Amino acid sequence: MEKTFEFNNKTYNFAEDIQVPQDGLFEATLVDENNHRCEMVFRNGKLFRLTELD
């Protein structure tokens, strides 16, 4: 299943499906469809920060 996120007017598509908790902080590192490794930080279920690591 593909998971899509939008951040700073850019759309990121990931093959991995993650379950983001609705409370607290959650961090995930995924590879997008363009083979960029992305570190994502969620706060209370909402995407707070996305950093392309490559």
Q: pLDDT tens digit string along 19-43? A: 999 999 999 999 999 999 999 999 9
| Each residue's pLDDT tens digit, 11-25 | 999 999 999 999 999
Which range marks the domain in which residue 42 is found? 3-52
**pTM of the model as a whole:** 0.86
Q: What residues are paired with 37 via a beta bridge?
A: 31
- Other CB atoms within a 10 A radius of the CB of residue 12 amount to 19
Distance CA 13, CA 6 (A): 9
Number of structural domains the chain divides into: 1
Question: Looking at residue 1, what is its pLDDT?
Answer: 52
